[in-house]
């Protein structure tokens, strides 16, 4: 786990906005045992751990029937959001940046809210390829992310940035129409291409010369609530490159900052009114041989059980021709599954 604010250890940056929940910048640990599901059977990495199987089978019996409905409060009004988008666009006009990922936060307070049940509800509504449930002492992270940050297999490194979102259709015909609209959108393509270029540059810092390739550009993939535009960039790592080297060259992911990255992070600190914490960081697994796979922490809830408080955030890419009203609605679309889980409006 590496939180967004780890950026301050890589660049001369700061995070002085109020923290919704105090989250450590990074947490790494070595698992004592692993549990996998193979053809419907629980498999434990240590023979003595098999005694946990009965507890796993009875686990659902100790969960409450449902979570209480909570009131979700936003930190940004629609009017203030629009004003900030226009201010960010002025930076684009002045040549400071090309695009910026501007996010807004939401929070709730409920001591009796159960994060395990919340995660199960979230998976029923919006199961995603990079979903995860993570606990560190009293802090919980419920992730329903569609986005991969980085994956390393041997010396091959791949990044799969997402830029471009549209809702799913109510029927097959509308769904296909919306998919094609996303694919054909010049604005969404421009957003995606800028981040692909940024990722190519980041990967090149730790890769063999001439090995950075774009394997797929503007791929459109369907998820439970949205279609997403995803591109894939790959490279061959140089010899003896460490995990720290790779992270320092690529973190934070360009899809959550904008381009150019450092200037965007400075402006994010100015225009956002919360400390991102774990949101827009990354969570993943490092194998004993050094291979790893890390996601992007989006569409996710951070919950501190000791104070009964949770928060989540959503954002979109602000470009020169972005419409503030449309971007605001896109944020709510991305938050829709989490809002269903928390407010029980389904």
The reply to whether 147 belongs to the active site is yes
Q: Are 325 and 82 in contact (CB under 8 A)?
A: yes
| Catalytic entry in 99, 147, 191, 272 | 147
> Is beta strand 213-222 parallel, antiparallel or unpaired with respect to 226-236?
antiparallel
> Is beta strand 226-236 parallel, antiparallel or unpaired with respect to 130-136?
unpaired
Record the tokens describing residue 65, joined without a space. 């029937």
| Catalytic entry in 7, 152, 163, 225 | 163
Distance CA 27, CA 219 (A): 33
Q: Are 284 and 241 in contact (CB under 8 A)?
A: no
| Residues in a beta bridge with 230 | 162, 219
| Residues in a beta bridge with 195 | none
The reply to whether 305 belongs to the active site is no
Q: Are 131 and 144 in contact (CB under 8 A)?
A: yes
Q: Are 304 and 139 in contact (CB under 8 A)?
A: yes
- Just list the catalytic residues: 147, 163
């Amino acid at each position: 786990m590496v939180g967004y604010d780890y950026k301050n250890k890589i660049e001369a940056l700061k995070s002085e906005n109020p923290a919704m929940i105090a989250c450590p910048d990074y947490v790494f640990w070595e698992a004592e045992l692993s549990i996998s599901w193979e053809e419907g059977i629980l498999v434990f990495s240590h023979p003595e751990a098999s005694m946990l199987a009965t507890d796993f089978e009875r686990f659902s019996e100790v969960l409450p029937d449902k979570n209480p409905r909570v009131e979700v409060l936003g930190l940004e009004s629609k009017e203030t959001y629009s004003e900030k988008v226009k201010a960010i666009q002025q930076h684009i006009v002045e040549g400071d940046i090309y695009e910026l990922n501007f996010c807004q936060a939401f929070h709730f307070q409920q001591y009796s809210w159960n994060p395990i049940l919340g995660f199960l509800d979230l998976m029923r509504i919006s199961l995603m390829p990079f979903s995860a449930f993570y606990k560190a002492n009293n802090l919980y992270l419920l992730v329903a992310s569609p986005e991969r940050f980085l994956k390393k297999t041997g010396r091959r490194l791949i990044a799969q940035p997402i830029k471009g979102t549209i809702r799913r259709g109510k029927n097959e015909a509308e769904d296909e129409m919306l998919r094609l609209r996303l694919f054909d959108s010049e604005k969404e393509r421009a957003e995606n291409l800028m981040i692909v270029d940024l990722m190519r540059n980041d990967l090149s810092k730790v890769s063999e010369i001439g090995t950075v390739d774009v394997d797929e550009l503007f791929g459109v993939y369907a998820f439970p609530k949205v279609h997403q535009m995803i591109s894939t960039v790959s490279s061959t790592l140089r010899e003896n490159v460490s995990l720290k080297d790779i992270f320092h060259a690529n973190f934070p992911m360009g899809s959550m900052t904008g381009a150019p990255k450092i200037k965007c992070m400075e402006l994010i600190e100015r225009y956002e009114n919360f400390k991102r914490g774990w949101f827009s960081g990354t969570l993943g697994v490092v194998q004993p041989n050094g291979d790893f796979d890390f996601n992007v922490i989006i569409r996710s809830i951070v919950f501190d059980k000791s104070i009964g408080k949770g928060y989540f955030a959503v954002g979109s890419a602000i470009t020169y021709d972005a419409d503030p009203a449309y971007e605001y609605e896109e944020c709510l679309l991305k938050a829709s599954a989490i809002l269903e889980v928390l407010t029980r409006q389904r």
